[in-house]
Each structure stands twice: as structure tokens, then as C-alpha cells.
Amino acid sequence: MLEPLATVDHMLLRPEGKGTIRALSRIGYELPAAIADIIDNSIDAEATRVEVTFLRNDHEITAVTIADDGRGMDMAALRTGMQFAGRTDHDAGDLGTYGMGLKSASFSQSKTMTVISRQSGNVVASRWSVEAIDNDWRCEVLDPVKAGNVFDELCLRGKAPSCGTLVIWERLDRLVVSQQADALDEYLSTAMPRLEAHLGLTFHRFLESGALSIAIVVRHERRALALPRPVRPHNPFHYPNPGASGWPKALDCEFPGLGTLSLDAHIWPAGSSADGFLLGSRKGVEHQGFYFYRNNRLIQAGGWNGVVKGDQDPELLLARVAIELPPAGIDVNVQKSALQVTASQAQALLAASDGEVDLEDFLEAARAAIRASRRTARGPGTAPAVPGQGVAMRIRRAAHKRIAGAKQAEEIGFAWGELDDGQVFNLDLTDMMIVLNREYRQAILDGSSASAADAPLVKLLLFQLYKDDFGRQRSSRKLREHVDLTNALLFEIIKIRLKDHDD
């Protein structure tokens, strides 16, 4: 035990303003996540309407406003609300937890943040700027009459609510585009659909239930007309029929530190171009994985939290799992965009089960579904497989002649890549490749020199052994067991060779 050290004095150490804000503004909010964090507060204030407005001139965005018709704030609430990590009593059903979102999201995008709020006919207003923070954290209280005028003009335009809140971001250092003509139009043409997609996904349950509507408006300072773009719900689980019979299934998971969680394991139908599947991307492959919801707000949209290697496995394209989190007791990052999962929690997720099938079975079923769809897409009379890149051209030609004659054939290539320890090779059924473990290249070559077409015997034998599986004739579990066994046998040789090399 360390001997207790006596205190002899105290130093009052307030956080240094500018440095704190610089650090805070770099915690990694993207614009859509920052705006979502502000909308969380509107939902907690029971707003039914939210309007996000981008005020612009020809070259720049001069302000972003987020307006709601929620319950608003009085001066005491505004004071706590403006304070960093200010303590607000939250209900279990609230989206807010840290007392930080308003400030951290605002300063991630801007250097000045103003809040004007109306409650029971009274307007209160306050402003934070980087300079004010640097000036000993002195938050400005603003003239309520003038603030009331701004509220009437900007809050839910044309129909300012009797109570509600308007958040204004100015000096938007993160939204600067070049001064070139059209640069801003170009930026907005991609940024606005991205924002709509993010908000529509994050709040899809609120939007679907009709409890909330969100609109995005881009308003040019010299033009009167600005059409609001309504945010549509993008439900990542909204498909007509599942991609495999028997799914979705609810799997129970004993989640360390939280108790029982229910995992709703879904398999999307293959080939979907539905909005909920693509979620604004081209193929949807980055949207596989876990969808964590808390109080109906989507916290994490996809990704496997280390439970599955990689987050964009083409074989798991169709696999999505919805998980409801309890209101408290789980580590969510400040941006509310991801869940921090410990190693033992990841293990628990993998072991989730309904007594008959577990998460691994689900992953296998999702893999089988995508393979089955590819098989159907290719149809009967599929072209025969021939060895492709990674084998000498002479051998490839000879093999093609013997296997396919003059017919079309599908090539299976070979590559040296990164694989797990003990794994000598693996099949990449999507990219039609046999991957050999780069770590064991010397051991496999056993004295021969490395080249693009090295290890022809091993490659051709693996090709002969597994070529039919690229046409997906075996069930995926059986195939996996077979690959594991072959790997284990080959690894026995590798181990001896590695030892010989060491000696």
C-alpha cells in the first residue's frame, strides 16, 4: 500500500478555456451526428416539430438553426442547460444523460452558439462563444426583447410556437467550402441528403409513429423561397419478406453488467434496393451488424463491435440485429453514435441463443442466404471453375482446356494474405479467391523462391479440393468444418517446417 501523502495546500485549477474548447471540438462529431444530438434535446422537451435551417449566401453558410416546439426553458433551466456537464434531472425515458450534448455538438461545428427559448410567454436567451469561454467561462445573457424578435423570425418560420427553443450556430468553422462558384451548391448537394439519411435513420421510430416531424431547409439570404425537405423515416429492418425462412428470431443474451438483452436477428432478402437496406449507400454492405436502440433512438447503426471480424463482410451483407438497451448502465460515447463493448460482453453477444440456435447459427444462416441468392442469380449450367491469377499462365491455359474446353469458365484466383494464426488457407467465396497465409509463405515454399505464381502444387490441390464449393454445393457449416480440418492437417506440416527453419 502506498503511504498516504499529506495535503499542504490547494491550487484552484479551472480548465483553460481555449484549449478545452479546442479539444472538445475535436471529439469526432460529424455534422449529422451533431445535429442529431441537438434534436435529442428537442425530443426530451416533447417537441412535435423540428426544423433544421442552413442560412447561406452565395459562398458560405452563415448560420445553422435548429428550432423546436418543445416545452422551452425558463432562466434557471437555461442556466443549467448552458453549463458544461450541467446537472439536469432526467427521466429514465430521456435521451440526454451527460449534460454535454448541446455544448459539445455545437462547438464541434461552430465558434458561437446561441440559445433562445420561450416558455409561458417569456423569452430567455444566452450565448456561448470560444472567446467567452476563454474569458473565464463567462456565458452571455442576452436581451430578451431582441431575442424574442429573432425567435419570432427564425423559429419554425411563419408560425413561431408559443413555447419552444431555437439553437443558433454561427462562425461555422467546420462547414467552410472554397470560394469558387458552385462550391457551396456542390457541398450542399451531397451534405443535405447525407443529413436527411442520418436523421431519418437515427429517429426513424419517432418519425414512423408520427410523434415527431423533422424538416431541413436551406435558405438563401437574398431569396424568399426556401422549400423544406421533410426527413423521411429510414427503417433498417423494414423489408417485405425475410431473406431466409424461420427468421427473424429473438435470441437472449446475458449481457455482463446489464442483465438479459434480447437480440432480434434479421436476415434481409438478397438483392434489395429498398431504402431501409441501402440507407443511402450503393450496396448496403456497410450496414450489417448490430443496431442498438435506447429509448427508441438509434445509438449505433451497424458494425459488429468486434464480435465478427471486420464490419463489412460481403458474406454477412444481409445480417442485421436489433438490440434494445435499457435506459441506463451502458457506455455510449458522447456523440451517441457507438457503444463501447468489452471483450466479455462481445463473447456474451456471440453466445446469445433462444435455446435452439445461437448468434453463430444466425451468422451461418445469413451467409447461406447470400450464397443461395448468388447461386440462383447464376442459374443452372453455371460456368465451370478454373484456376486463375496466382498460377503460371501455362498451367492456367492447360487447366482451362482440360476442364472447360472452349467453354466460358469462372476463374478462382490465389493470393497471399493476412489470416489467423494456425490458418494455412481460407476460401473467399465472394471474391472467388483462395487466400494463403502470408506468414507461412516460407514454410509452404520450403526452400523455393517466392513469386506471383509460387507454390503451384499447393494451389492446384486446394483448387481441386474446393472448386465446387465456389459453386456452393455444400452447406456452409459442413464446408467450414472441412476447411478447418484441412487447415489443421496442413498446419501440422507447417509447424514442423517452422521449427526446422528456426533450427
Ligand X SMILES: Nc1ncnc2c1ncn2[C@@H]1O[C@H](COP(=O)(O)OP(=O)(O)OP(=O)(O)O)[C@@H](O)[C@H]1O
Q: Binding mask 65-104 vs ligand X (x if CB under 6 A, - otherwise)?
A: ---x-x--x---x---x----x-x-------xxxxxxxx-
Pick the closer one to ligand X by CB: 96 or 236: 96
How many whole angstroms separate alpha carbon 151 and alpha carbon 110? 20
Q: How far apart are CA 120 and CA 422, in angstroms?
A: 69
With CB under 5 to 8 Å by kind, the binding choice for 293 among Mg ion, ligand X, none is none
Q: Is 439 in the site for ligand X (CB under 6 A)?
A: no
Phi-psi group of 390: left, alpha or beta (phi > 0 → left; psi -120 to 50 → alpha; rest → beta): left
- Strand 122-129 vs strand 49-56: parallel, antiparallel, or unpaired? unpaired
166 phi and psi, to 5 degrees?
Answer: -125, 120
* Residue 279, binding choice from ligand X, Mg ion, none, Cβ under 5 to 8 Å by partner class: none
Q: Which of 29, 31, 36, 41 binds ligand X (CB under 6 A)?
A: 41
276 near ligand X (CB under 6 A): no
Binder of residue 39, out of ligand X, Mg ion, none (CB less than 5 to 8 A by kind): none
Kindly list the residues in this chain that would bind Mg ion in the complex (CB under 5 A): 40-41, 96, 101
Cβ distance to ligand X smaller for residue 140 or 410: 140
One DSSP character per residue, 429-464 reads TTTTEEEEEGGGHHHHHTTSPP-TT--HHHHHHHHH
Angle between helical axes of 456-466 and 393-404 (0-180°, round to 10): 30
Q: Is 56 a binder of ligand X (CB under 6 A)?
A: no
Residue 499: count other Cβ atoms within 10 Å of its Cβ.
10
Q: How far is the CB of 71 from ligand X (least distance, A)?
A: 6
Q: Could you say whether residue 160 binds ligand X (CB under 6 A)?
A: no
197 SS3 class: helix
The yes or no reply on residue 161 touching ligand X (CB under 6 A) is no
Burial class (CB in 10 A: 0-12, 13-18, 19+), 381: exposed
Closer by beta carbon to ligand X, 98 or else 237? 98
Q: Is 44 or 439 the residue whose CB approaches ligand X more closely?
A: 44
Q: Are 276 and 201 in contact (CB under 8 A)?
A: no
Cβ proximity of 256 and 229 under 8 Å: no
Contact characters 328-357, ligand X, x per CB under 6 A: ------------------------------
Q: Which stretch binds ligand X (CB under 6 A): 5-13, 26-34, 38-46, 448-456?
A: 38-46
Q: Residues interacting with ligand X, by CB under 6 A?
A: 37, 40-42, 45, 68, 70, 73, 77, 81, 86, 88, 96-103, 165
